[in-house]
Chains A and B, each alone.
Chain A
């Protein structure tokens, strides 16, 4: 029992698809329903359908809902088989309840989409599929229900499979499986049905018991958001949190954000003794080798795979409140363990969930889905939701009502989405000052005084390398300056341009590779005056890494060879 795995799945279906009946059936078959609950259902005053037992009554919860005969909120159910324990997020299928479906889908490993065999793929089936894809559910099980009412017809089933597959392809939904079932009679739920001899697949429960749960888990890119600092005594400082991705072992090199400091893991202590290797989704406590001061909201990451660090990003929002969402209103954004004030900078468009059309929008109403550009007061450390669910998800909270107003999924940014900020009172023409008029300084004068050409060095991660490089170049007599302000990283290209114009070597230390910013910075510099060194091309030791960068600057002709520096020769 204790060695079984956990599978979380969501179910979506419309009022008459038989969703509640299917869940009731699964609970009943797996003995997840106790006799007194069954007795309570038998004695229930409302009995909507004929037949011996109405399984759907097992899953309807609150009084108001029972009286209306519809489920209006996400309900969680539990059952277990010897192989797995299951958590069902049972979500209502009504159009106005996109909110609930998104909620149920947010933690699901798999979604069961119910389709009534008599009706085929309806707009609501498409909505369910779209939300499953939006929330990134890894596996989709399409349960074609009420097969008993279409005489278990293979052609009906095949048609639905073809229709749904075509739509799934359009929205990029992967890992589909189809099941011809009757939730009422139990066909292909636990045992293969004798009434579908043409169906060669497994019953639904077999699939739920065997679908891989952690296969797509990211063990590579370390993301450890610091949740809480444990300091019981002066000599113990542990950083507590849930590992979002990657592995963590004593001795591993980690980088802290936002400081960009590199250190190592000293140990991972626990109530049950030290942990040799932590993996997601373990809740752990990390002790670091160096005394660096981290607090809630900071993050430990792999220095070779750093997340994006930015105050601006593109995202999809699902609006969850009847109070409309608007640009330029302040919300609280909670992402990982950080909560920061944020605004919707721009609504790019709304998505019509039925037609998938993009529609211009000024506001966001309840249950609407939109593509937006978000801007936060402080930078976030994130990955796209498609790449890393835990690192790309956020919620928006209204600071006045304290209600959760939206769920957000961060998208990969492209230059056209996150446009450069407009700088007031500053103009960047992109033209270097080359000609001397009256007593204006010439570039030649600047370069001669400096003893080298200006350049922009673009370094990702490895903040330590940036500062050590600055020190080495300074000691060589260079004019150099590090630009390392993560909160304003979008300004780095412009700032590097100012420094270059002044004849300096600008070292841009950016925590995360953002192609748009890099391209802008490169665009400001002459071709042989821009040097980008990806983190993976740098040796692990900072000293060695600095040597590599200096060598490249020499190769570009920005610097004299070191021996010539020593002889005091000009450029």
Chain B
């Protein structure tokens, strides 16, 4: 390889940094959605690079459903403090006080209240006109046509028909008051790219990604972590399973996978052999064929 050719990870890095700087230069009040997951960790590293030696020129926003893993919350507080980031945590308290929970409402309704509604409220309260998200186009079919700058109307909704054509690296950042843009700097990254970059850059991630013996409820093909007093069905017994999380969300909706991969190289080796896509353990995506697209229309990331 020519010494003046970037490796694919460095080329993706350059593209993502360009996107972040463009947003900060052109929008009045950007915010970065912080999910604590591996993609968020990569986004933060890219932002540190984009604005070095300055600090992140925007706050991090975590939409906390209160059904996250304890380890995630501990990691969040420790990590954001260590990099001197401005962290905002938002929870839909009202819905929770009214009893919203995945066990009672079912995953679809719970997600609409604790994630989508909470997110839209937080964005509106903060008056943010641009919000970075870590979504990638390779995650799910409806995301393959997502723009890097994804336009949302006054209600935070996405309409596939009004998305603007995106050419070269010239992003259209024009919005009216109340409208906003969701920005996806990792659009062109794949799951493998994310992991390879975490290894290359030695980026800290939540330990839940690494395999160890964890208490799980085995339900069909799914391993459901035993947290937040998850109610058990008749005859179900928690079991200790050597497992890890491939993607992180709420405990009930994030199934674990059986895995022995306890180190970064193990995870990458496992991925190479993997023939299952990472969102498969996400219960929400499988509610209905094309369900992610329906959620996105309503304002989900």
Q: How far is the CA of A399 from the CA of B176 in the complex (A)?
A: 10
Chain A residues positioned under 8 Å from B263 (CB to CB) = none
Q: Is the CB of A106 within 8 A of B167?
A: yes
Smallest CB separation, B120 vs chain A (Å): 21
Q: How far is the CA of A106 from the CA of B148 in the complex (A)?
A: 15
B192 within 8 A of A: yes
B160 within 8 A of A: yes
Q: Is the CB of A78 within 8 A of B289?
A: no
B175 within 8 A of A: yes
Task: Give the residue of B17, B137, B172 whose beta carbon is less than 8 angstroms from that of A78.
Answer: B137
Smallest CB separation, B94 vs chain A (Å): 32
Q: Is the CB of A228 within 8 A of B1?
A: no
Chain A residues positioned under 8 Å from B289 (CB to CB) = 40, 44-45
B169 within 8 A of A: yes
Smallest CB separation, B59 vs chain A (Å): 16
Of B7-15, B71-79, B234-242, B248-256, the segment with at least 4 beta carbons within 8 Å of chain A is B7-15
Q: B52-94: contact bitstring with A at CB < 8 Å (1 yes, 0 no)?
A: 1111000000000000000000000000000000000000000
Of A31-39, A439-447, A479-487, the segment with at least 4 beta carbons within 8 Å of chain B is A31-39
Q: Is the CB of B172 within 8 A of A334?
A: yes
Q: A61-B142, A80-B190, A80-B192 are in contact. Are A271 and B48 (CB under 8 A)?
A: yes
Chain B residues positioned under 8 Å from A242 (CB to CB) = 14, 17-18, 169
Q: How far is the CA of A393 from the CA of B165 in the complex (A)?
A: 14
Q: A227-B22, A397-B172, A402-B176 are in contact. Are A214 and B2 (CB under 8 A)?
A: yes
A198 within 8 A of B: no
Smallest CB separation, B156 vs chain A (Å): 17
B275 within 8 A of A: yes
Q: How far is the CA of A335 from the CA of B17 in the complex (A)?
A: 18
Q: A523-560: contact bitstring with B at CB < 8 Å (1 yes, 0 no)?
A: 00000000000000000000000000000000000000
Q: Is the CB of B51 within 8 A of A279?
A: no
Q: B149-167: contact bitstring with A at CB < 8 Å (1 yes, 0 no)?
A: 0000000000010111111
Q: A214-B4, A227-B21, A270-B49 are in contact. Are A34 and B277 (CB under 8 A)?
A: yes
Q: Is the CB of A271 within 8 A of B55?
A: no
Chain B residues positioned under 8 Å from A60 (CB to CB) = 141
Q: Is the CB of B160 within 8 A of A103?
A: no
- Nearest-CB residue, chain A, relative to B163: A73
Q: Is the CB of A85 within 8 A of B8?
A: yes
Chain B residues positioned under 8 Å from A78 (CB to CB) = 137-138, 188, 190
Q: Is the CB of B49 within 8 A of A228?
A: no
Chain B contact residues (Cβ within 8 angstroms of A): what range? 35 or more
Q: How far is the CA of A281 from the CA of B13 in the complex (A)?
A: 10
Q: Is the CB of B144 within 8 A of A283?
A: no
A571 within 8 A of B: no
Q: A236-B53, A281-B14, A402-B175 are in contact. Are A36 and B277 (CB under 8 A)?
A: yes
Q: How far is the CA of A236 from the CA of B160 in the complex (A)?
A: 43
Chain A stretch 65-117: residues in CB contact (< 8 A) with chain B: 66, 73-78, 80, 84-85, 87, 99-100, 102-103, 106-107
B124 within 8 A of A: no
Q: Is the CB of A228 within 8 A of B24?
A: yes
Q: A34-B276, A403-B164 are in contact. Are A76 and B144 (CB under 8 A)?
A: yes
- Nearest-CB residue, chain A, relative to B192: A80
B230 within 8 A of A: no
Q: Is the CB of B4 within 8 A of A219?
A: yes
A3 within 8 A of B: yes
B215 within 8 A of A: no
Q: How far is the CA of A4 from the CA of B6 in the complex (A)?
A: 9
Smallest CB separation, A477 vs chain B (Å): 49
Q: Is the CB of A271 within 8 A of B49?
A: yes
A234 within 8 A of B: no
Q: A62-B142, A78-B137 are in contact. Are A213 and B53 (CB under 8 A)?
A: no
Q: B274-287: contact bitstring with A at CB < 8 Å (1 yes, 0 no)?
A: 11110010000000
Q: How far is the CA of A285 from the CA of B17 in the complex (A)?
A: 11
A389 within 8 A of B: yes
A424 within 8 A of B: no
Q: Is the CB of B145 within 8 A of A230?
A: no
B180 within 8 A of A: no
Q: B104-145: contact bitstring with A at CB < 8 Å (1 yes, 0 no)?
A: 000000000000000000000000000000000110011011
Q: A99-B165, A240-B21 are in contact. Are A6 and B12 (CB under 8 A)?
A: yes
A172 within 8 A of B: no
Q: A270-284: contact bitstring with B at CB < 8 Å (1 yes, 0 no)?
A: 111000000101110
Q: A271-B49, A334-B170 are in contact. Are A282 and B25 (CB under 8 A)?
A: no
Q: How far is the CA of A270 from the CA of B50 in the complex (A)?
A: 9
Chain B residues positioned under 8 Å from A51 (CB to CB) = none
Chain A stretch 191-248: residues in CB contact (< 8 A) with chain B: 213-214, 217, 219, 227-228, 230-232, 236, 238, 240-242, 247
Q: How far is the CA of A66 from the CA of B293 in the complex (A)?
A: 12
- Nearest-CB residue, chain A, relative to B188: A87
Q: Is the CB of A3 within 8 A of B21?
A: no
Smallest CB separation, A531 vs chain B (Å): 39
B204 within 8 A of A: no
Chain A residues positioned under 8 Å from B13 (CB to CB) = 283
Q: Is the CB of B160 within 8 A of A73?
A: yes
Q: How far is the CA of A181 from the CA of B112 in the complex (A)?
A: 47
- Nearest-CB residue, chain B, relative to A8: B188
A178 within 8 A of B: no
A380 within 8 A of B: no
Chain A residues positioned under 8 Å from B48 (CB to CB) = 271
Q: Is the CB of A34 within 8 A of B280?
A: yes
A337 within 8 A of B: yes
Chain B residues positioned under 8 Å from A397 (CB to CB) = 172, 174
A359 within 8 A of B: no
Q: Is the CB of B187 within 8 A of A213?
A: no
Task: Give the residue of B4, B167, B196 whose beta carbon is less than 8 angstroms from that of A2.
Answer: B196
Given contacts A34-B274, A74-B165, 8 further A-B contacts (CB under 8 A): A62-B145, A62-B160, A62-B293, A107-B167, A231-B54, A270-B49, A281-B14, A283-B15
User: Can you list 26 A-B pairs with a CB-CB distance of less than 8 A?
Assistant: A2-B200, A4-B8, A5-B7, A36-B277, A36-B280, A40-B289, A45-B289, A61-B142, A62-B141, A75-B144, A76-B137, A78-B137, A213-B5, A214-B5, A219-B4, A227-B22, A240-B21, A242-B17, A270-B49, A281-B15, A296-B25, A320-B165, A332-B174, A335-B170, A337-B25, A402-B172
